[in-house]
Structure 1
Amino acid sequence: MVSCKVNDETGDITLENEHLRFIFKKSEISYKEFMIYVHNGSEWYKVGLCSPIARFTYKSNALMNYSKNINPTSYKINEGDNATLELYSKEVDVDGVEWNFQFKFSLKPNERRVLAKYAVTASKSRQLLFFSGPFLYVGEGSFGANKDLAIFPGLEYLLSNERSSSKNDVAEVHMHRFLPHPYKITLPLMFVSYKGYVLGLAWNPLYKWDGRNAYISAIFASPNWVEMKKKENHLLGLFVPSVPKWINENCGGPYGYAYKSYFMEPNHPVNIEAWIIAGFFEEPIQVLKQWFEIYGIPEIPATSIKPEKAIEISVQTYLDRFDSEKHVFSQNVPESWGPHASPLTSLQLWIHSLSVNNPHYKNKLREVAIKAMRKFLSTADSFIPYANGVKYRWWTEIGSRFILLDLSLHAGLIEECLKVAGDYAKVFIANQRPDGSFGFLPDESHKILGEAGDTAVGLCAFPAYNLLKYARFTGDQKSLEAGLKALNFMNTLKRPEGSQTWECPLHTPDIVASAQAILANLEAFKITGNDEYLSKAVFWAYTGLPFIYTWGALDRRIMKYGSIPVFGSTFYLHPWFGQIVQWCGLEYAYSLRLLSDYDDSLPWKTFADGITMCGLQQQAAGIRMCEENVLDEKYRGYYPDSYDVINNVFSSYWLAPGNGPEIPGGNLLSNLMMLTGKNVEASFSILNVGKKKVYINSSAIIQDPKFDAEKKYLTFKLNYPINETSFSIIAGLQKPEKVTRNGVEIAEVSNIDVADEGWKYLPEQALLLIKSQHLSAPTLIKVFLT
């Protein structure tokens, strides 16, 4: 149902469908405003208004500035599947020049958005300083300055009592972002929500508003603090001409502040096109989906090098920079953190070796991986003495201990890796508070970033993820309970924040927190099968979208699918607005790739591919990077810590291709591997054996797991490269009678690492370790119970 009707008594015009209603109020002979209502399933509720319908400011022949509200006097209605209302106004300025204004509003059935088109022409050349599109006063006449959530992607992610352009996340000198440079806006859809009611604006930043110039200007104030007469509402508005060509960023009030005139040609139109989004949403963050429904999913960036070649370059980078005496890798240029052994790098080298045919090169990759793995295991308990004290601040420092679990299923040393991961699971549990949360424990230099004892999503997500991962591998009940307890607390929070407290304020909006929250909920969903955890994983996936560029400027090759790390700063002094830090987005991409196996509400895998390819655009792989910069050979294989979109400049600090937060996929190389079909994490399956749950983890892909209760055996197939050897861990079984591979019994062994093939049972943990040769595909494993 959609209609556009005129009230015969009042002259008011109502444009509506099932979800929203626009009422254009007639005052004497003109229309000065329109009010916006949303239907919540039982009644209509006012969410805001646009008053006046438009404004403009021009410079006269005498170089005086004049401003005027546009109040249309005539209209035209077209009804049908796409109902439209057109409003018209004619003005004559002080120099006798005629201005013609046209406003068109279009609505379709069952949609929660109205297409608004504004146009102006002048009969003679004019100096235009300001022409507004929709200026929405959200909450006016209803919930006022209240809100639950307000988002201006790339810049603001506000909760109920927070003010935009505040000093919460950045120093005063950098805090204003109510009228930003267009390159700082990541996803051009801004909105405010209250109790499920949402009102917002979406637009295409590349729309050429005069046929030549792009970048419509956007203004955002929540609550509305920028206008001289403060109002109980929130301001969302669009206008031309553009920042910064005609208007200084964040200057003055909201009207008539161009520092130089835009010269209009006679009878040449200036246009603004935008979508007014209004609706009732159970999860307001999902209003972001509207942008993709309107403009489509962004195309994946093109690169001059293929992902497969980039993987080869990345792997060779690690081989070239491996210290054969100390068994550590160089991870940065310049080497500010110092070389170190990384289980993640070892895992990546081993996975790459599976597709290598040259036996010498294959052995080299594995030799380096094992040496670095053993080096790491020799120092893996180095953080435990600090884990229960205030010196310990960043859980991500110990994530590598849990990556050992994935690595051991390829390279062996499972028992040593289980012990290390188990020790650190106990560390997490010891630091967990009764409500399930984890507290912020800053040292003296980090106290400025947050209050000691406070908590956030990022402080809880990472321990929850790793506790649940350890429980998935081992069936450890204490880790499972602690992980779910942390997750259940974390899921009551509303904003991704607190994952980069080594430099960013605790409550600064943070895409890494989105990524880690997705991973933690996916672990819980895989173990428990509870759909609520999958729903929460989807929720947290949406929270990461405001950090991702969905468009690319006309003069920027690197931008689309780039990721802003935080909507804030480093120690309040270095703002990250308009600064791409791709490793943060790559962690998010990895989590989206895993989510795509379970949810298709958005094409998460396409987003993951796009973010990965944007990372590849930035990698120094013997290709031209910025338009005028060719990188030094010393950076080959590395990618920048950051890229300044505004100034088109790379950071002087570069990351190794596998460097990033300590999860298997939070880096460029792992994402490239996943993009090309290589599994980075262990394969997982769960079986009900009697009244118990049995967890199977393997470096091979697990297929068709079954339990035959009558014959008392469980069976599953493993897919792994031919002539390779995989490891699997089965948790929750009693000691088996025997194990077979493709019908042939394999031996029980005391040392599974030195045996060519075999199985070993660890009675204290009820874990069955299986080492299997793969002479054909798939390999059928049967475990016979007593």
Structure 2
Amino acid sequence: MTTSPDLTTQPRYRHAAYGGESRVLRNDALRVDVHRRTTGWGWAELTAPDGTLLAVLDHLGEVCLRDSPVPMRLEAAGIAAATTHELAFDVRATVVAEALRGTSFDTWIGSPFTGPALTGRVTLTLDPADARLRLHYVLESQQDLYVRYLRGPWLRVGEGSFGADRDDAILPGVEWAVGREWTSGTDWFRDPWAMRVTPHRTTVAVPVMAVSRAGTAVALSWEPDQDCTGWFSMRREHPQPVFAAPNLVERRDGSLLGLMLPEARDGAGDGWHADPPMELHRGQRIELTAHVSVVTGRSLDAVTDWVVRNGLPEPPAPRWPIEETLHRIAEAVTTRLWHEGRGYGTAQSETDTFRREPRFARAYLDRFPDSPHARTMAEQVASLAPEPEPGTDALLAEGRELLAHQRPDGSFGFDPEGRHWRKDDFLVARDLVAPMGQPGDTALDLSMTPAIRLFELAALTGEQEFSAAARRALDACLDLHRPEGGDFWETPLHAPNLLAAGHAAIAYELGFGLFGDPRYRERTAHWLRTLLAFTHLWEPRGMPMTYNTKPCLCSSDWYFANWVRDHVQWEVLTTFALAAEHGLDLAAADPLVDWRRYQEGVTWAAVRWLLDHRDDTWRPHNLPASLDLYREGRFDMCLPDTHNATTGLYGGMAIMPDIVAVNLLDLLGDAG
């Protein structure tokens, strides 16, 4: 790696006035050209080994004040320190009065500031062997200021080269756009929820954002809970991500990855201009650290790279020991959730359905035959007429019905008023706003769920035609990258979706086990990794949410639920429950990520959710009359449907906790 004067380097970025001087940081993976403007250092261009201009770091910082006519860049008169891998710049904000002195503007524009608003040091450090650039800002306010924004890293990806052309773009928990889709577009949302350029920071699941093109992803990561600044007892400020692909913030041909202050308070609207502005006081310190990474692959590979570098977080501390948790769930199921003659259920409304037995009952009774609740559970299950097992003829008929719906290419189409009818949400959305999916469309989950069932039917009947049909469904989806199609009964069909990811991982692993095709094992790993884009892998201080998951990155019925704001846990638990029920070892499918630890994390997160009416943290949504039942303790130990990432409160329906127990029993098997 070298850093050296390079007076012959001609910048490719056409929106900066080149001052004729550059420095280069380079290794075998990345070249960073840092340039001086006519007014001072600097901006930087990031170039791949093949010469592709990947991104432009537009400045070393920029501040927009309420009382200044123009934003002011942070620039340096010279290089304060240089080594073989690092450049440091002592920066000061442009003084507008100085810049205008002696010009035609001098007589009619009067800036109130006679000195720099901010000073400090910005350090750029390139990893000796990796395509990874560290950006570190230490600044100090020199005045009492009202700040509309203070920008740190401001990365214009594709600027001056491939522009807005990209394969995909991901901000985990918030956005996953592919092809020509816009982030903050209205494909999956309607306004005001559609504008997600500056999302509330607690809705961001993993602190990395990425844009990919032609096998290369450019990513910006940060420390989401870093205290960037604060004054006396005033509110602390944390890094605010700014994400736009294409760059609708500046209406430029490229994509934007940025960090700024202050943080958005509500996650809506023009969050990149604070109103009211942020106060800075004389002598107030501002610190910010971020990394730019260039990763081979797509945006998901950049997210996975972050996970590999940082490791999965520790699973949440158990609320109770694992066996005690199982017995508490069993106690709730056999008392509050048992209804004589009807079965098990939450009984929140007259239309509630009841189960013949809890999903975990047989495994629980085998594991704990002498528990205080085993005898009661066994007697309750025995008192109900068992559901008749379908005979071979019925199973064959079910399989042939699925084959009748399979298309020549192996996929399955959307039939919203036929076999995909669940409830009338998508019909109301179609008539009130716009269709959430067109009849005949296909999506990943629409093919993966029948593939799983066809594999099951093949095993039950010995009918090889069913497994061959399942294989055709897998082959039809080999080239897909984003999980879509789960939750189709209330969300846009092609929206990014966690349930589809889980079903795809199960389907491809079943296919790998049966056929040994290495492409299927690779797809298992891919679809498992897509879960990361929906999973909270950090939490703000005072708001436990590590390993909470988003069901999808869209809204229900266009208006009625915002799944960027809300977590749902039962869907991710279903993935690992299905794996356990089919005897699959998902951890073996992708050794790059510790999926057993991940399962432990999402399971203990679900235990953290389990209701206790004395906490008073839950409110119903579409069943308001159930609040009284909650206050009576009838839903204690149930799993709430949603968790709000901005308030920390729970809502929705009360869900049977047996899916939590299935995962706990699976984890208990590891513990012996």
1:530-552: per-residue Cα shift (whole Å, max 9, x none)?
22111101111121211111111
- Cα gap change, 1:297/1:359 in structure 2, threshold over 3 Å: closer, same or farther? closer
1:483-521: per-residue Cα shift (whole Å, max 9, x none)?
111111122222111111111111111100010000001
- Cα gap change, 1:284/1:153 in structure 2, threshold over 3 Å: closer, same or farther? closer
Deviation for aligned residue 1:371: 5.5
Task: Measure, in 1, the Cα distance between the counterparts of 2:466 and 2:509.
Answer: 16
Report the TM-score when normalising by structure 1.
Answer: 0.73
- Highest RCO, 1 vs 2 (Cα 8 Å, sep ≥ 6): 2
Task: Measure, in 2, the Cα distance between the counterparts of 1:214 and 1:677.
Answer: 44
Task: Measure, in 1, the Cα distance between the counterparts of 2:53 and 2:455.
Answer: 44
Question: Is 1:376–2:387 an aligned residue pair?
Answer: yes
Aligned residue for 1:220?
243
Aligned residue for 2:268?
250
1:233-265: per-residue Cα shift (whole Å, max 9, x none)?
011110112221xxx6333374xx222343334
Deviation for aligned residue 1:127: 3.2
Question: 523, 529, 532: which one pairs with 2:516?
Answer: 529
Q: 1:640-659, aligned counterparts within 5 Å?
A: 640-658=640-658
Q: 1:582-593, aligned counterparts within 5 Å?
A: 582-590=569-577
Aligned residue for 1:436?
410
Report the TM-score when normalising by structure 2.
Answer: 0.85
Deviation for aligned residue 1:187: 1.1
- Cα gap change, 1:626/1:15 in structure 2, threshold over 3 Å: closer, same or farther? farther
In structure 1, give the amino acid aligned to 2:46: I
Is there any run of 5+ residues in structure 2 with no aligned partner, and where?
Answer: 10-20, 96-111, 418-423, 620-626
Task: Measure, in 1, the Cα distance between the counterparts of 2:502 and 2:532.
Answer: 11
Aligned residue for 1:569?
555
Aligned residue for 1:159?
178
Task: Measure, in 1, the Cα distance between the counterparts of 2:197 and 2:185.
Answer: 10
Task: Measure, in 1, the Cα distance between the counterparts of 2:125 and 2:616.
Answer: 43
Question: 444, 460, 466: which one pairs with 1:479?
Answer: 466
- Cα gap change, 1:634/1:436 in structure 2, threshold over 3 Å: closer, same or farther? same
- Cα gap change, 1:370/1:361 in structure 2, threshold over 3 Å: closer, same or farther? same
Aligned residue for 2:31?
21
Aligned residue for 1:672?
664
Question: Is 1:608–2:610 an aligned residue pair?
Answer: no
1:614-672: per-residue Cα shift (whole Å, max 9, x none)?
110011257747499996411122110112222233214200112xxxxxxxx322112
1:46-73: per-residue Cα shift (whole Å, max 9, x none)?
11212233211234xxx55652122333
Deviation for aligned residue 1:526: 1.2
Aligned residue for 2:211?
192
Question: 256, 267, 276: which one pairs with 2:283?
Answer: 267
8 Å Cα contact 1:84-1:105 kept in structure 2: yes
Question: Is 1:139–2:158 an aligned residue pair?
Answer: yes
In structure 2, give the amino acid aligned to 1:200: A
- Cα gap change, 1:627/1:113 in structure 2, threshold over 3 Å: closer, same or farther? farther
8 Å Cα contact 1:189-1:202 kept in structure 2: yes
Q: 1:721-760, aligned counterparts within 5 Å?
A: none
SS in 2 for 1:312: helix
8 Å Cα contact 1:226-1:253 kept in structure 2: no
1:109-168: per-residue Cα shift (whole Å, max 9, x none)?
332321111232133433333211111111112211111111111121111011111221
In structure 2, give the amino acid aligned to 1:249: G
Task: Measure, in 2, the Cα distance between the counterparts of 1:311 and 1:568.
Answer: 34
1:452-511: per-residue Cα shift (whole Å, max 9, x none)?
000001111111122123334554311110111111112222211111111111111110
Task: Measure, in 1, the Cα distance between the counterparts of 2:608 and 2:347.
Answer: 18
SS in 2 for 1:89: strand
- Cα gap change, 1:614/1:333 in structure 2, threshold over 3 Å: closer, same or farther? farther
Q: 1:29-108, aligned counterparts within 5 Å?
A: 30-39=40-49, 43-59=50-66, 63-64=67-68, 66-79=70-83, 83-91=85-93, 93=95, 94-98=112-116, 99-108=118-127
Question: Is 1:172–2:183 an aligned residue pair?
Answer: no
8 Å Cα contact 1:13-1:25 kept in structure 2: yes
Structure with larger Rg: 1
Question: Is 1:508–2:472 an aligned residue pair?
Answer: no
- Cα gap change, 1:613/1:253 in structure 2, threshold over 3 Å: closer, same or farther? closer
SS in 1 for 2:226: coil
1:73-114: per-residue Cα shift (whole Å, max 9, x none)?
31145445xx21112223464433443132111122332321
Question: Is 1:597–2:588 an aligned residue pair?
Answer: yes
Question: Is 1:290–2:294 an aligned residue pair?
Answer: no
8 Å Cα contact 1:508-1:568 kept in structure 2: yes
Give the fraction of aligned pairs with identical amino acids, expressed as a percent. Answer: 22
Is there any run of 5+ residues in structure 1 with no aligned partner, and where?
Answer: 378-412, 659-666, 680-720, 722-786
Deviation for aligned residue 1:31: 2.8
Deviation for aligned residue 1:267: 3.0
SS in 2 for 1:507: coil
In structure 2, give the amino acid aligned to 1:654: A
Aligned residue for 2:225?
206
In structure 1, give the amino acid aligned to 2:360: Q
In structure 2, give the amino acid aligned to 1:586: L
* Number of corresponding residues: 612
Question: Is 1:276–2:292 an aligned residue pair?
Answer: yes
Task: Measure, in 1, the Cα distance between the counterparts of 2:300 and 2:517.
Answer: 22
1:741-773: per-residue Cα shift (whole Å, max 9, x none)?
xxxxxxxxxxxxxxxxxxxxxxxxxxxxxxxxx
8 Å Cα contact 1:196-1:284 kept in structure 2: no
Question: 341, 347, 350: which one pairs with 2:362?
Answer: 350
Most deviating of 4-13 and 14-23: 4-13
- Cα gap change, 1:529/1:369 in structure 2, threshold over 3 Å: closer, same or farther? farther
Task: Measure, in 1, the Cα distance between the counterparts of 2:579 and 2:123.
Answer: 38
8 Å Cα contact 1:19-1:279 kept in structure 2: no
8 Å Cα contact 1:589-1:611 kept in structure 2: no
Aligned residue for 1:340?
354
Task: Measure, in 1, the Cα distance between the counterparts of 2:113 and 2:71.
Answer: 14
Task: Measure, in 2, the Cα distance between the counterparts of 1:338 and 1:541.
Answer: 33
